[in-house]
Structure 1
Amino acid sequence: MEAVVLILLSLVVPAALYLLLSPSKRSKKLPPGPPAVPFLGNLLWLRNSVSHLNHSLLKDLHAKYGPIITLRVGSRLSIFIADRFLAHKALIELGASFSDRPTLPAANHLLTSDQHNISSGRYGPLWRLFRRNLATEILHPAKIRVFSPAREWVLAVLLRDLESRSAESGDGTVVAMESFQFAMFSLLVFMCFGEKLDEKEIRDIEDAHRSYLQHFHELKVFSFVPSISKYVFRRRWTTILQLKRRQRDLFVPLIRARRAQKENRQQNDKRERFVHSYVDSLIDIKLAEEGGRGLTEDEIVTLCSEFFTAGTDTTATALQWTMAELVKHQEVQQKLLQEIEEAVGIRNGEGIKEEDLQKMQYLKAVIMESLRRHPPAQVVIPHTVTGDIEFEGYTIPKEATVNFVVTEMNWDEKVWEAPKEFRPERFMSGGEGEGVDVTGTREIKMMPFGAGRRICPGYGLAMLHLEYFVANLLREFNWETAEGEEVDFSEKHEFTLVMKNPLRARLSPRRPIKTT
């Protein structure tokens, strides 16, 4: 019923006017694609969105129409690029032209504070300011090292939680994903606010954040004639506003506390130990393009929320996929365990340190293969071009979304032998993945973090977290399949590309877990 109302109210007439008044748009040579129904676009869009188009459907469309195709929804164009050479040309060689983001529907501006963030911000000075601040103040290697004690604390919490769940189950079986998510979220909370909050505070923040994001997809109905849809779906709109308010009520006191601490530190004891957090860096930002003003509290809340979204589910999901592959492939688990033992030896209860990771090349190969086989998303966040551009003989219109199909590149049979198989050795000496540049700067063979100017700024931190937690989880526990079960590698779309059925594994401690 919602689809009917929205189509009748907002698609037919605007689309007809668009076609009648803009003949020049129709005359441009767009990349090929399946036939589209007038005004409504491709019928497949009535059942799928860009983020939920499955790999097999996209693969079939690309096989039929070529490596670059066009799909339509109403008057909106979506371009899909599935070839690694074309992706490199667009994202690296023509990076400035392909680095913009689509204009968001009016209702989505609530979530992004008018696109005052990094992931959806329009390409320009404001976006560069936010990204540079994150890269230099939090994600620079020297700044990342500052949070080493926080990673040790979170690791201890995670290990105790898994051991407790294992003991309570009776047979050692645990569903680890919830533990992974809470651990990653706890770490991001510390990095964001600079404080080690208690478990209840963290879970309150996590619940508010997750509840708000779970309603994000409901904003779609407000994209068409907002003044009417907000009235028709007023209960839904009220719920979203309440969830946004709850998130703000939890974040703002922490933001104000950091502001007060910064001021007191500057005025009083400059020798006081002070962990520079993400919020601290946001408090210092001045927007030159907007009169030199500072960020509002709502804008800081938006950037903090984005920080949690980008660093929690992506890492937790990748961690689960990696441990699932190690459960499935016991020979890989044993080979990795041997490398760990040779690298660190026996340390009277001490875990693996971050500096130890440099000695573990097979660990890096396992992580790379997991990211290749199970990228966080099927397509990267949609790009747009800064202006109409000629590309490979076609016109890419300015307001078309441009989507890069990560799975097609990660699983390209021309690059990877048996691409659907899990083979970490391919990233060792002599393998087809030896020396692969995960940033895609030299060439693109896989792009789990995107590539070019819009590459995920936290890819270095993500790699560190995956290596650190996988190594320690494997050193502390033996991971096996639950009795009578097999690992199910079916996928589904949530915020990321997740396991349809979360990993159930039987854990047995290799040594006593520290209780403090």
Structure 2
Amino acid sequence: MFPYELAAATGVLIVFLYVVKNRRRGMLPPSPRRCRCWLQLRYGGGGILYLQLGRRRTLVVSTAAAATDLFRNHDLAFASRPRSMSAEKLMNVSFAPYGESWRRGKKVAVVHLLSPRRVESFAPVRAAEVARSSRGPAAARRLGRPWRADAGFQPEDLLPDVPARIVRWATGLDKKLDDIAEAWDKFLSKIVASHEEKRANGVGDEDEEDFLYVLLRLRREGADGLELTDDRIKATVKDMIVGATETSSQTLEWAMAEVVANPRVMTKLQDEIARVVATADQPTIAEAVLNKMEYLKAVFKEVLRLHAPAPLLVPHESTIPAVVQGYEIPAKTSLFVNVWAIGRDPAAWDAPEEFRPERFVGGSGGGPPVDFRGTDYQLIPFGAGRRICPGINFALPILEIALAGLLRHFDWELPAGMSPADLDMVEEPGLTTPRRVPLVLVPECRTLAQGQPALQ
């Protein structure tokens, strides 16, 4: 009976968040007494909150001012990641600790996989996919969410007196991670073998390489002194897939939901698309014209402000002590950046709960336009500093051309009997922010200029 009793006790303890006041020397941020503090993250004193999660010290940043201080003055101190058993088993490159190995891996991603030249080379693929997906009226729906590895937090952190291996065994986490890792390995091993076979037969050239061909070529060339083993290659490809698919689909769904909920925005956006893409005989939108769609870009900034793909950024960890907003933060402290709260910070945004893309048009307020590439800390859905997501340039063209195509070829309405006020705009809780209620829309083909239907 011991395993079952232990499992039951473990299950109760894991859902119990043990928060205590810090008794160490030095001035630490406010520390709430109960687990319901998770509902009050953005109300912590000075925008930062200190939690003692079992044996793990944790700092939560939830205002633009606190994020500015953190990333501008202490980025290097918080550039590492907490040790994660799940990340190690699943070989999550993005969870790697700060150091030479991580720097070389990031260089491979930024220079060889996600560079502007490489992103531009995939333009025909993106255009073909958008055209294919737009060729039949279909209700928009939410994609299924794959199981995600933990965000750097371990069950055994809440149970310091129970051996970690027993906790993982009792909760079934070890087996679940092993099964997921094995499934990924089988899936990617087949793809790697197929690519190596095609390359051996002389199929494809450098201009037609996909991500995996690039990694295999870099291994042959010994680029950048990074040993690209099969495991490292598969881990890099897996990070690209996991990091891009769910977040992109959810962002596009939120964009459609906000546009439909705000008919004024839809009309203005469709007018801009029609003005920029003036010819009806062009079946798809060329990516080159996206830079002329200022309002489209403003819409996505506003969507990312209100519905960041991950409400809490992937956790950081301090390697040295730091003083943030006047508080002394010890080394080995985990950091969660609450971008959901920062995007709604009333000190940084006028009418923060209102969907208003115009705030990003033409430097609203007389200053330069706010960007999300890690320099304007009131808008950091991709993070900032050394650990900023390297896939920004890859994600944006996909989202922009998809939304532009959907709004160019179709008018979108809610099912009969529904009004914009009836839309449920609440996010489902979790590591990402899917809609609580899947979005269902009714499309109607539009007629473009010259009297030709949008799609045949």
C-alpha deviation, 1:453, in angstroms: 1.2
- Does the Cα contact within 8 Å between 2:280 and 2:454 map onto a contact in 1? no
Q: Does residue 227 in structure 1 map to residue 165 in structure 2?
A: yes
Give the match for residue 177 of structure 1: 142
Aligned letter for 1:454?
A: R
Give the 3 Å change call, closer, same or farther, for CA 510–339 of structure 1 in structure 2: same
- What is the CA distance between 1:70 and its match in structure 2? 0.4
- Which of these residues, 114, 120, 129, is aligned with residue 154 of structure 1? 129
1:80-111 deviation digits (Å, cap 9, x = unpaired): 1223233122213332222111111x354211
Write out aligned runs for 1:280-291 (5 A): 280-284=213-217
What is the 5 A alignment of 1:213-224?
213=147, 220-221=154-155
Aligned-partner Cα distance in 2 for 1:315–1:293: 29
**Matched residue, 1:186:** none
> Would the alpha carbon gap of residues 231 and 463 (structure 1) be closer, same or farther in structure 2, given more than 3 Å must change?
closer
Q: Alpha-carbon deviation of 1:5?
A: 3.2
SS at match of 1:79: strand
Which secondary structure state, in structure 2, belongs to the residue aligned with residue 78 of structure 1? strand
Q: Which runs of 5+ in 1 are unaligned?
A: 36-41, 46-52, 166-173, 182-209
Residues 1:383 and 1:453: Cα distance change in structure 2 (over 3 Å): same
Residue number in structure 2 paired with 1:316: 249
Equivalent positions of 1:25-424 (< 5 A) are 26-35=24-33, 42-44=34-36, 53-54=38-39, 57-60=40-43, 62=44, 65-104=45-84, 106-112=85-91, 117=93, 119-160=94-135, 162-163=136-137, 165=138, 174-178=139-143, 213=147, 220-221=154-155, 225-233=163-171, 237-265=174-202, 272=205, 275-284=208-217, 294-424=227-357
Structure 1 contact 88–440 (Cα < 8 Å) conserved: no
Partner of 2:413, secondary structure, is strand
Question: Could you say if the C-alpha distance between residues 88 and 43 of structure 1 is closer, same or farther in structure 2, counting changes exceeding 3 Å?
Answer: closer
Alpha-carbon distance in 2 for matches of 1:319, 1:374: 10
Q: Summarize the Cα distance change of 1:258–1:376 in structure 2 as closer, same or farther, 3 Å threshold.
A: same
CA distance 1:365–1:409, change in 2 (3 Å): same
RMSD, matched Cα = 3.2
State the 1:141 CA deviation.
1.1
Superposition deviation, residue 419 in structure 1: 1.0
Alpha-carbon distance, 1:156 to partner: 2.3
1:292 shift after superposition: 6.1
| TM-score (ref. length: structure 2) | 0.85
What is the CA-CA distance between 1:345 and the residue it aligns to? Answer: 1.1
Q: How does 1:468-483 map to 2 (within 5 A)?
A: 468-483=401-416
> How far apart in 2 are the matches of 1:448 and 1:8?
32
CA distance in 1, matches of 2:74, 2:125: 39
Aligned to 2:370: 436
Alignment correspondent of 1:490: 426
Residue 430 of structure 1: CA displacement?
A: 5.4
> Aligned residue for 2:9?
4
Aligned residue type for 1:261: K
Distance in 2 (alpha carbons) for counterparts of 1:353 and 1:494: 36
Q: Unmatched 5+ residue regions in structure 2?
A: 1-5, 448-452
Change (3 A) 1:218 1:3: farther
- 2:385 is matched with 452
- Matched residues in 2 for 1:352 and 1:377: separation? 29
Which of 466-475 and 410-419 deviates more? 410-419
Does the C-alpha gap of structure 1 residues 286 and 138 become closer, same or farther in structure 2, counting only changes over 3 Å? closer
Distance (Å, rounded) in 2 between the aligned partners of 1:326 and 1:6: 42
Partners of 2:79 and 2:152 lie apart in 1 by 27
Deviations 1:184-233 (CA, angstroms, capped at 9, x unpaired): xxxxxxxxxxxxxxxxxxxxxxxxxx65x357699955776243245435
Q: Distance in 1 between matches of 2:255 and 2:191?
A: 34
Of 320-329 and 85-94, the range deviating more from structure 2: 85-94
CA distance in 2, matches of 1:280, 1:6: 44
Distance 1:427 1:233, change over 3 A: closer
Q: What CA distance in whole angstroms lies between the structure 1 residues aligned with 2:329 and 2:256?
A: 41
The SS at the match of 1:227 is: helix
Q: Which residue number in structure 1 is paired with residue 450 of structure 2?
A: none
Measured after TM superposition, the shift of residue 359 of structure 1 is: 1.4
Q: Distance in 2 between matches of 1:219 and 1:396?
A: 19
**Structure 1 residues 97 and 299 mapped into 2: Cα distance closer, same or farther (>3 Å)?**
same
**Whole-Å separation in 1 of the counterparts to 2:342 and 2:155:** 33
> Would the aligned equivalents of 2:62 and 2:341 in 1 still touch at CA under 8 Å?
yes
Contact in 2 for aligned 1:107/1:222 (Cα 8 Å): no
Q: 1:217 to 1:131 in 2, by over 3 A?
A: closer
Q: Which has the higher helix share?
A: 1
CA deviation profile, 1:426-476 (whole Å, cap 9, x unmatched): 1113524851131232x4221111111111111122222221111111001
Residues 222 and 513 from structure 1, CA distance in 2 versus in 1: closer, same or farther, beyond 3 angstroms?
A: farther
- Summarize deviations over 1:322-344 as a string: whole Å, max 9, x none: 11111111111111111111111
Percent of matched pairs sharing the same residue = 29
